[in-house]
């Protein structure tokens, strides 16, 4: 009997392959970081072939190193950094240019122009998104306008567009598909009708022939070819990483919220079958679509989302950019050397600011330095910045939500940091709960694939597998919290609009 689900988690900084057993426990894991490219201020690129090769390498390694055969695997679930845009030639399978990463700000001017033409309301109404360079649609427009011959080749039907899920499924199986959660981040997809939208395609000048077929997030979408794992394997789950993490955290009832601390930080609230509209600059997004049974309509779940562009990446910057730590995890001990931030505030707006500011022209700043400031203060300020940004997002979410938040479920690489999690609880004034499995992104993709193939049978079974590792209770006095947040907002003011003359 097949024993495992194979989850492929293609994140912004690394590719991971994880085998999950029937109890939702990690049986084996392989991970590989890959190169980030910053060719100009505000630009972020990946080599799409690096993405594919690193993902294939870890997937093959997790089987080989653990003596697991394709026959032991029920199915593959894929989850991915979202919005990152790949365009490739259908015949050769080669990308026509570097992938434009979700953090890339190069299309901020195009977003301004579309806003000036009064298109903001159209995009908000149909896609649930704000007009920001974050999303895939304007990145795709940029490629068609700037890569030599791209538009002519696209018009002839020679080029395919996809986000990273789509690119990986294409390389694994030859199929050109995406799921509704990823499509909902494109500015081209009507989230209410669950279809690509001609009017949006016309505004962004994207030919329909480039777009992938949209499939359910849980359902057999394609077969990975035998050449990769020894036998064909069904790809039965696909979801954007933040939506998959929401599933992996078992946030399956309305009002449940999770926050994932990876490269960026993303807070998602389950709103059920309703696409709730935010009055506070949150995004409305598709969580997942479950395939229909017995001819019934597919079930789509919606979410409200707050997106922070730089979270764990600020720690990486201290590691790789400044060299003040050698491993990301070293930051906790360094920050703990200072009893508080010593008045230092770090706004890591390296690629602008997301929710609730939506300012592509903001850039990073460090304020409040004195002769007494040390690298421990800087480390502390970096960690605190993650918690302050999250507090800003939660404030927006609480204004939108009818029900006050009881607890925040957390996961992702930086959620392993106890100092950060305690400070986070202090800043939010609600308990922060970390589950035993913090690889919830991969777990969510495994669950989606497992539900489609009968490995697991119901959402109730999945909810029952979620278990607490540690709960962080808020303990800070309200006046100290208010003082810290007041100074944080003052520091944000220094970063806002920095690139504007
Ligand atoms: N102990 C830690 N404290 C703070 N940040 C950490 C810690 N460990 C890892 N990180 C950060 O978490 C991020 C990696 O988390 P991960 O969930 O793998 O992200 P992604 O999926 O975006 O690649 C990196 O940015 C790293 O700097
Ligand atoms: O790589 P992560 O985990 O920070 O996630 C990136 C998001 O999907 C971007 O929207």
**Series of mean pLDDT values for 10-residue runs along the chain (501 residues):** 90 96 95 94 94 98 95 96 97 97 94 95 96 96 97 97 98 97 97 96 97 96 96 97 96 93 94 89 95 76 96 95 95 96 97 93 96 97 98 93 87 96 96 93 97 92 92 96 97 94 79
Q: Is 263 in the pocket of ligand 2 (CB under 6 A)?
A: yes
The pLDDT value recorded for residue 294 is 65
Q: How far away, in angstroms, is 472 Cα from ligand 1 center? A: 19
User: Is the pTM value of this prediction over 0.90?
Assistant: yes
Distance CA(138)–CA(141), nearest Å, equals 5
Q: Is 12 in the pocket of ligand 2 (CB under 6 A)?
A: yes
- Residues belonging to the binding site for sn-glycerol 3-phosphate are 12, 82-83, 134, 241
Q: Is 173 in the pocket of ligand 1 (CB under 6 A)?
A: no
The pLDDT value recorded for residue 1 is 57
Sign of CA dihedral 91, 92, 97, 101: positive
Q: Which atom of ligand 1 is nearest to the CA of 331?
A: 3
Beta strands 432-435 and 408-411: pairing type?
A: parallel
Q: Is 84 in the pocket of ligand 1 (CB under 6 A)?
A: no
Mutate to test the pocket of ligand 1, among 80, 312, 329, 386 (most ligand atoms within 8 A of CB): 312
Q: Which atom of ligand 2 is nearest to the CA of 263?
A: 4
Smallest-distance ligand from the CA of 412: 1
Q: Are 475 and 425 in contact (CB under 8 A)?
A: yes
Q: How far away, in angstroms, is 62 Cα from ligand 2 center? A: 23
Q: Is 348 in the pocket of ligand 1 (CB under 6 A)?
A: no
- Residues written for the chain: 501
The pLDDT value recorded for residue 2 is 67
Q: Are 280 and 399 in contact (CB under 8 A)?
A: yes
């Amino acid at each position: 009997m097949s024993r495992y689900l194979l989850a492929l988690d293609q994140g912004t900084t690394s590719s991971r392959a994880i085998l999950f057993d029937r109890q939702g426990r990690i049986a084996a894991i392989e991970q590989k970081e890959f190169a980030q490219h910053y060719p100009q201020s505000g630009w972020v690129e990946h080599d799409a072939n690096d993405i594919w090769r690193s993902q294939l390498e870890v997937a093959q390694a997790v089987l080989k190193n653990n003596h697991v055969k394709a026959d032991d695997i029920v199915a593959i679930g894929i989850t991915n950094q979202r919005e990152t845009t790949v365009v490739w030639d259908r015949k050769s399978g080669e990308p026509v240019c570097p992938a434009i990463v979700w953090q890339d700000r190069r299309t901020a001017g195009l977003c301004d122009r579309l806003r000036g033409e009064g298109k903001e309301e159209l995009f908000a109404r149909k896609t649930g998104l704000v007009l920001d360079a974050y999303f895939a649609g304007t990145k795709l427009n940029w490629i068609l306008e700037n890569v030599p011959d791209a538009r002519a080749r696209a018009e002839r039907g020679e080029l395919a567009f996809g986000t990273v899920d789509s690119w990986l499924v294409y390389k694994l199986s030859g199929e050109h598909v995406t799921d509704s959660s990823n499509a909902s981040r494109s500015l081209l997809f009507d989230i209410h009708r669950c279809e690509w939208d001609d009017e949006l395609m016309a505004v962004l000048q994207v030919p329909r022939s480039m777009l992938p077929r949209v499939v359910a997030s849980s359902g057999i979408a394609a077969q990975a070819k035998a050449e990769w794992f020894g036998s064909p394997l069904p790809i039965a789950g696909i979801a954007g990483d933040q939506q998959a993490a929401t599933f992996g955290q078992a946030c399956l009832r309305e009002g449940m919220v999770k926050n994932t601390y990876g490269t960026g930080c993303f807070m998602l609230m389950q709103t059920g079958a309703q696409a709730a509209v935010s009055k506070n600059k949150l995004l409305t997004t598709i969580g997942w679509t479950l395939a229909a049974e017995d001819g019934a309509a597919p079930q789509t779940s919606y979410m409200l989302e707050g997106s922070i562009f730089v979270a764990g990446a600020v720690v990486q910057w201290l590691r790789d950019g400044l060299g003040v730590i050698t491993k990301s995890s070293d930051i906790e001990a360094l920050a703990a050397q200072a009893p508080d931030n010593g008045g230092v505030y770090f706004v890591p707006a390296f690629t602008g600011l997301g929710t609730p500011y939506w300012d592509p022209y903001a850039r990073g700043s460090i304020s409040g330095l004195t002769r007494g400031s040390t690298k421990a203060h800087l480390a502390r300020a970096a960690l605190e910045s993650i918690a302050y940004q999250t507090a800003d997002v939660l404030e927006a979410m609480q204004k939108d939500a009818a029900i006050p938040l009881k607890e925040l479920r957390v996961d992702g690489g930086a959620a392993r940091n106890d100092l950060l999690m305690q400070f986070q609880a202090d800043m939010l004034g609600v308990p922060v709960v970390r589950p035993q499995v913090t690889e919830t992104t991969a777990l969510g993709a495994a669950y989606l694939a497992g539900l489609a193939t009968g490995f697991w049978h119901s959402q109730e079974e999945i909810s029952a597998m979620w278990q607490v590792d540690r709960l962080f209770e808020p303990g800070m006095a309200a006046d100290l919290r208010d003082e810290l947040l007041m100074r944080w907002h003052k520091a944000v003011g220094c970063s806002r609009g920095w690139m504007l003359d």
